[in-house]
């Protein structure tokens, strides 16, 4: 796992404290009952804080899994 | 506090039986991060306790107020934004902003204000409540230049001030200070438009954390400090007394020492509200007296006790002051311009909070004054606060009289009058304050929030006993509080505190005697817990339990009490109601 991925795992741990660490990389809204719209906003807000980026919610539309969020972050990181 | 930190705090594990603070968060938007931060700040304020934040429905602040009033909780925070008064004042509405619309908003505004006033009043009658007036700007709906205030906005603000002024007079209700909020959250950085559109939460994280912190501070204010020890040279005044002489030290705009005048003014104001002020200075005592005799001193010598002038270590002066005040170091702050003196004092008394007076930086000095004001802030000043200094001044002569003869003769000669009152807690804020600030003669050290206090004093079979004391040395005011329950011929005492100013007068025996008589019980059970500081209470009970108190609950029988209590001399009057 790279640094970006590690930091995203930390964000997931804060928003989904009951999710075992080893399950985070495969986490998706469909397989976590706590992952509702409020949790999604919380997760994106924590990600924004952790990575120092202003979250554009439309840009993250549909990013409801760990891999998808990681991809978006890599895109932003690549642009930055 | 960052959002991630708040989430971490809220996830800290606690004992399953830990107490829980249940707080209603009443607002018309999705509470989201505001709820997270309120929970985290409550948990920071009360380590080891849970916090449960209850919120209502989106867009229905009036309904949420009604629902909150029906729920059991220990407190409420009501956060109103302009869109709660009229949805057309929010960014999520696009109903138009032509003249008829604005006129319609103004027409309906008073009715909404009245309904909210009723809802908030009802809620505040049920639980301690903090009200937050709109923190976000009114959207630019009129044709006026943005730099100009117009009639529409001013009329809305005028009505809002009217609402807040009315609410301000309601007991148990506090209005959040907008100026203080502005100092922590800049107006331009408050709104998160994206989050508002996307999730119905209008605040930036930085605004949410600032708002939550202040709301919790307002709902659960910190326990104020009780005494301030000040240095003189380059602190209470500009200049060195030993060099410039009493007429050469200054505190005025003209002599570029206005910060010292403001400091004196603050200390005088604190003294008036019952805060103890003492001086610890390395100076000649005669010169200090001469300086205090200056008519332009804003802090008068009568407002200061004791004045410790000498050449020894400052920590020795502090030790004598603490003894004279009968206070612990943690109840006190010290202000001195010398970092070395502060270090010397705080090395000996780590619990004392030390502040350096920045005598060569007026802006920093003014900041210090705000910090000091905050340390001593109290919501109410009681008659007893004004009696405190006088009774302490009398203490040396009382002690001298006491040590020069038979203690019983001393007590008999006090001409003491004790007024015991069995009443309700509803309007007795002094009793509540005494319970929360007394440490030495305190049955268990338990502190209470307003709602917890209401709950314990309104429990089935509960009674509240307060004691006022006066003797030939002067009145001490309300100095003791007992809260307990009488159930099935047994008396349970859950709270018992007595001010340290009332020690050595056998008031505690009178109180117990009256409890046995009044309730006709054979024994009293005490909810005792040893604390680091309730030694004086434990010492009192050793008369009846020579081997000390071993159990956390213990019983004292009427027979043992009557057999071992000393002779009592005070004239006791009982007031039953009110």
**Nearest CB partner across the interface for B4, out of A37, A49, A57:** A49
Q: What is the pLDDT of residue B547?
A: 84
Cα distance between residue B74 and residue B349, in whole Å? 36
The percent of residues above 90 in pLDDT, for chain B, comes to: 62
Please answer whether residues B469 and B416 qualify as being in contact, where contact means their C-beta atoms are separated by less than 8 angstroms. yes
Residues B10-32 pLDDT 10s: 999 888 888 899 999 999 999 99
Domain final position from B169, B184, B219:
B219
Count of structural domains, chain B: 3
Query: Between β-strands B523-527 and B553-557, what pairing exists: parallel, antiparallel or unpaired?
Result: antiparallel
- Within-domain flag for B180: yes
Measured CA to CA in angstroms, residue B516 lies from B520, B524, B543, B561 at distances of: 5, 8, 17, 9
Task: Nearest by CB to A45, from B3, B11, B30: name it.
Answer: B3
The answer on pLDDT for B363 being more than 90 is yes
Indicate which of B196, B198, B202 best probes the interface with A, i.e. most A CBs within 10 Å of its own CB: B198
User: Is the pLDDT assigned to residue B261 strictly greater than 90?
Assistant: yes
The span from the CA of B107 to the CA of B101, in Å, is: 10
Q: What is the pLDDT of residues B303-362, one digit of tens each?
A: 999 999 988 889 999 999 999 888 889 999 999 999 999 999 999 999 999 999 999 899
More confident residue, B223 or B93: B223
Q: Is the pLDDT of residue B80 over 90?
A: yes
Q: What is the pLDDT of residue B322?
A: 94
Please state the rounded mean pLDDT for residues B287-311.
93
> Is a pLDDT exceeding 90 seen at residue B142?
no
Contacts of B30 in chain A (CB under 8 A): 38
Q: Where residue B519 sits, what CATH number does that domain have?
A: 3.40.630.30
For chain B, give the percent of residues with pLDDT over 70: 97
> Are both B189 and B231 inside the same structural domain?
no
For residue B2, list chain A residues with Cβ-Cβ distance below 8 A: 49
Please indicate, yes or no, if residue B381 is contained in any of the structural domains: no
pLDDT digits (tens, 9 = 90+) for B548-576: 887 788 899 999 999 998 888 888 898 86
User: Is B298 part of a structural domain of the chain?
Assistant: yes
**CATH number of domain containing B367:** 3.40.50.1000
Give the pLDDT band (50/70/90) at residue B398.
low
Among residues B219, B238, B273, the one where a domain terminates is B219
Q: Are residues B198 and B256 in the same domain?
A: no
| B437 and B493 belong to one structural domain | yes
Is the distance from CB of B161 to CB of B108 less than 8 angstroms? no
Is it the case that residue B423 has pLDDT exceeding 70?
yes
Domains recognised in chain A with CATH numbers: 3-79 (1.10.1200.10)
Residue B374: Cβ within 10 Å count: 14
Nearest to A16 by CA among A35, A38, A41: A35
Domain end call among B219, B236, B261: B219
Q: Decide if A37 and B11 are in contact by the 8 Å CB cutoff.
A: no
According to the model, what pLDDT value does residue B410 have?
A: 74
B150/B210 Cα distance (integer angstroms): 29
Structural domain contains residue B289: yes
Whether residues B370 and B462 share a domain: the answer is no
Judging by DSSP bridges, how do beta strands B490-498 and B441-442 pair with one another?
antiparallel
* pLDDT one-digit tens code per residue, A40-67: 999 999 999 998 888 888 888 888 899 9
Please tell me whether residues B215 and B232 are part of one structural domain: no
Q: What pLDDT score does B577 carry? A: 58
Distance from CA of B220 to the nearest CA of A (A): 27
Percent of chain A scored above 90 by pLDDT? 38
Strands B307-309 and B523-527: unpaired
Whether B416 is covered by a domain: the verdict is yes
Same domain (yes/no): B247, B161 = no
Is B4 part of the contact surface with chain A (CB cutoff 8 Å)?
A: yes
Residues B18, B54: one domain?
yes
Band (pLDDT 50/70/90 cuts) for residue B395 is low
Assess whether pLDDT exceeds 80 at residue B79.
yes
| Mutation target vs A (from B6, B7, B197; most A CBs, 10 A cutoff) | B7
Residue B145 sits in a domain whose CATH number is 3.40.50.1110
CB atoms within 10 A of CB B282: 19
Partners of B464 in the beta sheet? B423, B483
Q: Are residues B88 and B188 in the same domain?
A: yes
- Cα–Cα dist B382/B479, whole Å: 12
Question: Is B391 among the domain residues?
Answer: no
Distance CA B24, CA B39 (A): 11
Residue of chain A minimizing CA distance to B7 = A14
Distance, in angstroms, between B4 CA and closest chain A CA?
Answer: 6
User: Nearest Cα to B27, choosing from B213, B212, B260?
Assistant: B212
**Does the residue B395 lie in any domain?**
no
Closest Cβ opposite residue A17 in set B11, B30, B199 = B11
Rounded to two decimals, the ipTM of the complex is 0.89
Per-residue pLDDT, averaged over B420-449, amounts to: 86
| Residue contact B194–A55, C-beta within 8 A | yes
Using CA atoms, how far apart are residues B526 and B259, in angstroms rounded to an integer?
51
Residue numbers in B near A38 (CB within 8 A): 30, 32, 199
Burial B99-117 (b: 16+ CB within 10 A, else e): eeebeebeeebeebbeebb
**Structural domain boundaries enclosing B569:** 403-575
For the cut 70, the answer to whether the pLDDT of residue B157 exceeds it is yes
Residues of A in contact with B198 (CB under 8 A): 41, 57
Residue B439 has pLDDT above 90, yes or no: no
**pLDDT at residue B248 tops 60:** yes
Q: Which two tokens stand for residue B351?
A: 């619990």
Of the pLDDT bands very low, low, confident and very high (cuts 50, 70, 90), residue B455 is confident
Closest CA to B259 of B302, B298, B300, B303: B298
In this structure, the answer to whether residues B149 and B271 fall within a common structural domain is no
Whether residue B420 contacts residue B465, with contact meaning beta carbons closer than 8 Å, is answered with: yes
Q: What angle do CA A37, A11, A7 make, to 5 degrees?
A: 145
| A-chain residue closest to B203, CA distance | A45
Q: Is residue B33 part of a domain?
A: yes
Domain match, B260 and B333 both: yes
| pLDDT value, residue B96 | 73
The reply to whether B7 touches chain A by the CB within 8 Å rule is: yes
Look over chain B and give the mean of its residue pLDDT values, rounded to a whole number. 90
Cα nearest neighbour of A45 on chain B: B3
Residue B416 and residue B337 share a domain = no
Out of A11, A49, A57, the one facing B205 most closely (by C-beta) is A49
pLDDT bucket at B430, cuts 50 / 70 / 90: confident
B407 shares its domain with B479: yes
Note whether B6 contacts A: Cβ–Cβ < 8 A: no
What secondary structure does DSSP assign to B98-139, as a single string?
Answer: SHHHHHHHHHHHHHHHHHHHHHHHHHHHHS-EEEE---SPPP
pLDDT at B73 over 70: yes
Q: For residue B77, which of B37, B50, B136 has the smallest C-alpha distance? A: B37
How many Cβ pairs within 8 Å bridge chains A and B? 41
- The tokens describing B476, both together, are 């001490």
Interhelix angle B362-375/B258-272, nearest 10 degrees: 10
- Would the pLDDT of B382 be above 80? no
């Amino acid at each position: 796992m790279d640094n970006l991925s590690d930091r995203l795992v930390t964000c997931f741990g804060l928003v989904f404290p009951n999710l075992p660490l080893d399950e985070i990389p495969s986490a998706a809204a469909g397989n976590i009952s706590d992952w509702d719209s409020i949790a999604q906003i919380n997760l994106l807000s924590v990600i924004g804080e952790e990575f120092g980026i202003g979250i554009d919610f439309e840009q993250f539309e549909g990013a409801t899994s760990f891999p998808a969020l990681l991809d978006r972050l890599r895109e932003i990181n690549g642009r930055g | 506090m960052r959002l991630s930190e708040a989430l971490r705090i809220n996830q800290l594990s606690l004992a399953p039986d830990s107490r829980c603070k249940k707080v209603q968060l009443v607002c018309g938007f999705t509470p989201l991060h505001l709820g997270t931060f309120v929970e985290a700040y409550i948990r920071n304020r009360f380590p080891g306790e849970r916090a449960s934040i209850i919120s209502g429905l989106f867009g229905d602040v009036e309904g949420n107020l009604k629902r909150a009033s029906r729920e059991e909780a220990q407190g409420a925070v009501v956060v109103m934004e302009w869109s709660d008064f009229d949805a057309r004042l929010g960014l999520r509405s696009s109903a138009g902003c032509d003249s008829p619309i604005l006129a319609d908003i103004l027409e309906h505004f008073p009715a909404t204000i009245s309904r909210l006033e009723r809802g908030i009043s009802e809620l505040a009658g049920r639980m301690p409540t903090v009200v937050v007036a709109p923190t976000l700007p009114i959207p630019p709906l009129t044709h006026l230049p943005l730099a100009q205030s117009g009639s529409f906005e001013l009329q809305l603000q005028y009505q809002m001030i009217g609402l807040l002024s009315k609410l301000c007079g309601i007991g148990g209700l506090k209005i959040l200070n907008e100026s203080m909020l502005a100092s922590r959250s800049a107006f331009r950085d408050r709104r998160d438009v994206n989050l508002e559109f996307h999730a119905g939460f209008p605040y930036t994280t930085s605004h949410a954390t600032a708002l939550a912190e202040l709301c919790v501070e307002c709902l659960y204010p910190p326990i104020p400090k009780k005494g301030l020890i000040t240095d003189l040279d380059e602190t209470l005044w500009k200049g060195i007394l030993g060099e410039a002489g009493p007429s050469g030290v200054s505190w005025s705009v003209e002599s570029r020492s206005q910060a010292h005048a403001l400091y004196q003014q603050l200390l005088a104001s604190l003294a008036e509200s019952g805060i103890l002020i003492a001086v610890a200075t390395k100076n000649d005592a005669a010169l200090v007296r001469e300086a205090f005799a200056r008519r332009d001193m804003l802090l008068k010598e009568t407002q200061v006790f004791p004045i410790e002038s000498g050449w020894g270590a400052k920590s020795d002066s502090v030790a004598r002051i603490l003894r004279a005040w009968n206070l612990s170091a943690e109840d006190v702050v010290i202000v001195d311009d010398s970092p070395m003196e502060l270090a010397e004092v705080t090395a000996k008394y780590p619990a004392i909070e030390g502040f350096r007076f920045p005598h060569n930086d007026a802006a920093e000095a003014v900041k210090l004054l705000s910090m000091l004001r905050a340390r001593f802030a109290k919501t109410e000043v009681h008659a007893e606060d004004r009696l405190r200094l006088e009774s302490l001044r009398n203490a040396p002569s009382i002690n001298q009289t006491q040590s020069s003869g038979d203690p019983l003769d001393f007590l008999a000669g006090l001409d003491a009058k004790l007024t015991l009152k069995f009443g309700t807690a509803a309007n007795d804020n002094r009793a509540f304050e005494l319970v929360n600030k007394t440490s030495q003669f305190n049955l268990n050290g338990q502190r209470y929030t307003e709602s917890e206090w209401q709950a314990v004093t309104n429990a089935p079979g509960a009674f509240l006993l307060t004691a006022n004391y006066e003797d030939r040395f002067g009145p001490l005011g309300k100095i003791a509080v007992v809260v307990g329950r009488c159930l099935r011929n047994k008396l349970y005492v859950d709270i018992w505190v007595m001010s340290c100013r009332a020690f050595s007068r056998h008031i505690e025996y009178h109180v117990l005697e009256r409890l046995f008589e009044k309730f006709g019980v054979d024994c009293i059970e005490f909810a005792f817990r040893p604390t680091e500081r309730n030694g004086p209470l434990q010492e009192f009970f050793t008369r009846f339990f020579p081997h000390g108190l071993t159990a956390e609950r213990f019983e004292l029988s009427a027979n043992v009490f009557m057999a071992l209590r000393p002779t009592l001399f005070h004239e006791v009057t009982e007031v039953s109601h009110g």
